[in-house]
Every structure is written in structure tokens, then in C-alpha cells.
Amino acid sequence: MPLIDLANPSRFLAFIERLLPWLVVATAFALMVGVYQALLVAPDDYQQGATVKIMFIHVPSAWLAMFCWGLMSVAALGTLVWRHPLADVAAKAAAPLGTAFTFLCLLTGSLWGRPMWGTYWVWDGRLTSVLVLFLMYLGVLAMWRTVEDPSRAARAAAILSLVGAVNLPIIKFSVDWWATLHQPASVFRIGGPTIHPTILVPLLAMGIAFVLLFVTLHLAAMRNEILRRRVRTLRLRFAQAGA
Amino acid sequence: MHLGPYAGFIVAAYSAAVVVIGALVGWIIADHRIQTRTLDDLESRGMTRRSSSPREAA
């Protein structure tokens, strides 16, 4: 199937139906490998002990929290510039996922911070900018729920997504710009990762598993959103026919 | 597997991940059932979209 055909919602839906079972199997397998690596293979850290195991869910959640907003920003361009309905669908389906992974990032970070830093929370650049990201996700969710017309809601959410994208480099570089308890970048950095391979490999395994999980959930949520719009269209027609 | 003195924090973090991801999966499955059932109900009442036969187009 040519890639351009996927721009058609019906063909995209058929493509998702074929792909989803394979993605579910791949995600389940990747999660099993990731969890096995994280809990049973990765050694304890020489300073942090076993609490380093929290990193294997905290860091992939943080990656997805930022990636998801990036995806919504790209979709926002599709909405505002090309007015493509699938861009709206992609953005709307991504918002709850991004909210959930940002929440998970904040929660696991607090649970990691308490034994290592002695506190659940500090108002430093990294933690505060991720909290702002979480609040922006809630704002996008509220926008989708309060504006009834999907195309108007999509435009409003797209503008918020593009404005909010400014926060992504702030999150990334906050640990370099300001004093913080949070450790600096240790995987995606110039000069390569600073983590020992025995911990880096399980982290990347969990990262791949989380990305597959996100792709699976996102495509399934997009399928639901396309169906929801069909339902809305039929109901409007039903109401008009009855009027 | 020995989780050391902070086992509670580690277990809480992994439990939270299971709950959050489980909630996402459950919500998406339930939402799909609701939309499919509603669509079937509307189509059984003779409502179809202009562009195609039932359930074939967006």
C-alpha cells in the first residue's frame, strides 16, 4: 500500500486493524524482556542500590512524556497548515497517553527522590518544567472535552500544542541551565552515554518496550477516535432526518 | 531478587506503572467496545454514511 493511501481515514483504519495484533504481540514480548532485564538482570547501582530499578520505568516514561508532546506539535502543524482530519485524530488520541506517562514520570520520580534525595519534591527547573508539561496536557484534555465541534477543538488544541512545545527544550536543558538535584543527561548526550552497559542495556530494553506500548496504544486510540467521529456523523444525520 | 531497605518505594513505583498502563489499556478496550456497539446500533437502524456502505469508510 502506498504511504499516501494512509491519509485516507478508511484505509488508515484498515491498516490499523491489520497491524494491531502484531503490535500487541511485539509489545507484550518487549515488555517481558524489559521487565526481566530490569528486575532480574540489571545489577544494583554502587551508590543507589536497588532503587536504580525505579529508573527503568521513570526514564522511559519521561521520554514518552516529551515525545508525545512533540508528536502532538507535529500533528498540530497538520491541523493548522493542511487541515487534515487524521492530524486531529492523532493529536486527540495522543493527549491522554501523554498525560498518563507524564503522571507516571512525576510519580516514579518522587518515589525515587525520597530515598535518594531525602525529599519527594523540589521546585527546581527539571521537576517544575515537567509539572508544567503535565498541567499543559490537562489543559489540552480539557480543551478537547469542552469544545464540542471537533474541528474547532482541534485548532484550539493545536495552537496550545505549538505554544507548549517551547517547554520541551526547557525540560531537556533545565539540568544544564539551573542548579538542580536531578542528575544531568546520561543517555542522549554529546560524547555518548555515561551509564555502564549492564544498566544501559536493560534501560534501552525498557525504552523500546515503552515505545512499542505507546505506538500500540496510540494506534488503538486513533481507531477509537475515527469510530467516534463516524458515530457523531451518523447521529447528526439521524437528528437532521428526524427534524 | 533482594530490593534492600527501600523495597517499598520500588514496589510502589512498579505498582503505579502497572495501574496506570492497565488503566490506559482498559479504557481503550472499553472505548472501542462502546464505539463499535453504538455504530452497529445506528447502522442497524438504517443510518449509513453517504460515502460508502456501512463500516467501510471514514
A232 contacts A150 by C-beta, under 8 angstroms: yes
**Low-confidence residues of chain B, pLDDT below 50?**
53-58
* A224 falls within a domain: yes
* A1 falls within a domain: no
**Which residue range is the domain that position A137 belongs to?**
8-177+197-237
* A182 falls within a domain: no
Domain total in chain A:
1
As to burial, measured by CB atoms within 10 angstroms (0-12 exposed, 13-18 middle, 19+ buried), residue A47 is exposed
Residue A214 — very low, low, confident or very high, per pLDDT cuts 50/70/90?
Answer: very high
User: What value of ipTM does the predicted structure carry?
Assistant: 0.89
* A192 falls within a domain: no
What pLDDT is stored for residue B49 in this prediction?
67
* A126 falls within a domain: yes
Residue A44 sits in a domain of what CATH number? 1.20.120
* A2 falls within a domain: no
Q: Flag if B49 and A234 touch (Cβ within 8 Å).
A: yes
What pLDDT is stored for residue B51 in this prediction?
54
**Between A150 and A60, residue with greater pLDDT:** A60
* Model pLDDT for residues A220-235, shown as the tens digit of each residue: 999 999 999 999 888 8
Interface residues of B toward A, Cβ cutoff 8 Å, are: 1-7, 9-10, 12-14, 16-17, 20-21, 23-25, 27-28, 31-32, 35-36, 38-39, 42-43, 45, 47-49, 52, 56-58
What pLDDT is stored for residue A243 in this prediction?
58
Q: Flag if B13 and A114 touch (Cβ within 8 Å).
A: no
pLDDT at A168 over 80: yes
What pLDDT is stored for residue A85 in this prediction?
80
Cα distance between residue B58 and residue B56, in whole Å: 7
Lowest average pLDDT, out of A70-84, A106-120, A150-164, A184-198, goes to A184-198
Q: Scanning every residue of chain A, which has its alpha carbon at the shortest distance from the alpha carbon of B41? A: A231
* A74 falls within a domain: yes
* A24 falls within a domain: yes
